[in-house]
Amino acid sequence: MKIARGTVGERVLLAVTVLVPLLLAPLPGGRFLLPLVAPLTCYPGFLARVRERDHFAAWRFAMLWAALLSAGVILLTAVWPDLAARGIWRGEDYRREMFDWIATGQGRENDWRQFLPLHLAHLGVFLALTWLSAGYLGLVLGAALLDYMNYFVASYAQASGHPLGGLVVAWVPWSLLRVMAFVLLGSLFARPLIERRLWPFARWEVRLMALAAAAWLADLLLKATMAPAYGRFLRSLVSGGLLS
């Protein structure tokens, strides 16, 4: 599917992203279909910008896709929570883990020795998938991670008794940095396969890699230092102090 950059068709296709969770999650195997199919609404426009080496435009485009996909998952979870529980890969597992962390102050979120290996694994797999598929499979992994994160966010917003405020605060600051870093790295590491060169990067692109790496490291540092206090903050907002 080839759509010219900047066309109405490209914008319409991107706008469809918000509907994708509602259309795919109810289907048999929807929890696997959703992350596999969701990047189709973004990939033509993203790839066009990567081909032009306009990495900031590719970053903005993919960040908008991520926001629309997040909105779709949040809407699905708010309106049909049981369906979302079945249709979001790892959604319930992640929700229970995060609710337990908020309720007890204990868990992987509070210990860098526990969360660092997972973050390293996500980064390594993301870069490999991006490199091998000109970015598409990296977006698939990104969609999967976004889906279960937003399932937790929507679930927390409902449980907290503060539907709008809960949506804002449950998206913890360090997670936003991680998403921004991954999207920029995705734009950069999609290029080798496109150009059929192992290392097609100019010096200025290496500096962009350093910028993305700095954002990823900031994510780790913020999480390591802020997570315990932020968990207490999230617990304080829950009406009655109960999460289940």
Length of the chain: 244
Range 80-99 average pLDDT: 97
Res. 88 pLDDT band, cuts 50 70 90? very high
- Name, in order, each residue with C-beta under 8 angstroms of 99's C-beta and a sequence gap of 6 or more: 152, 155, 156, 159, 243, 244
Rounded (5°) CA angle 96-149-130 = 130
> Which residue, 24, 3, 25, 23, is CA-closest to 13?
3
Q: Which long-range contacts does 95-100 make (Cβ < 8 Å, 24+ apart)?
A: 95/148, 95/151, 95/152, 95/155, 98/152, 98/156, 99/152, 99/155, 99/156, 99/159, 99/243, 99/244
Per-residue pLDDT at 139: 98
Check whether 2 has a pLDDT greater than 60: no
Share of residues in the chain with pLDDT > 90 (%): 91
**191 touches 131 (CB < 8 A):** no
Range 164-186 average pLDDT: 96
Q: Which residue has the higher pLDDT, 242 or 72?
A: 72
pLDDT in tens, 191-239: 999 999 999 999 999 999 999 999 999 999 999 999 999 999 999 998 6
Task: Tell me how far apart the alpha carbons of residues 62 and 184 are, in angstroms, rounded to a whole number.
Answer: 9
Check whether 70 has a pLDDT greater than 70: yes
- Report how far apart the first and last C-alpha atoms of the chain are (Å, whole number): 44
Range 151-163 average pLDDT: 93
Task: Tell me how far apart the alpha carbons of residues 129 and 124 are, in angstroms, rounded to a whole number.
Answer: 9
Which token pair is 77?
Answer: 């979870």
Per-residue pLDDT at 71: 98
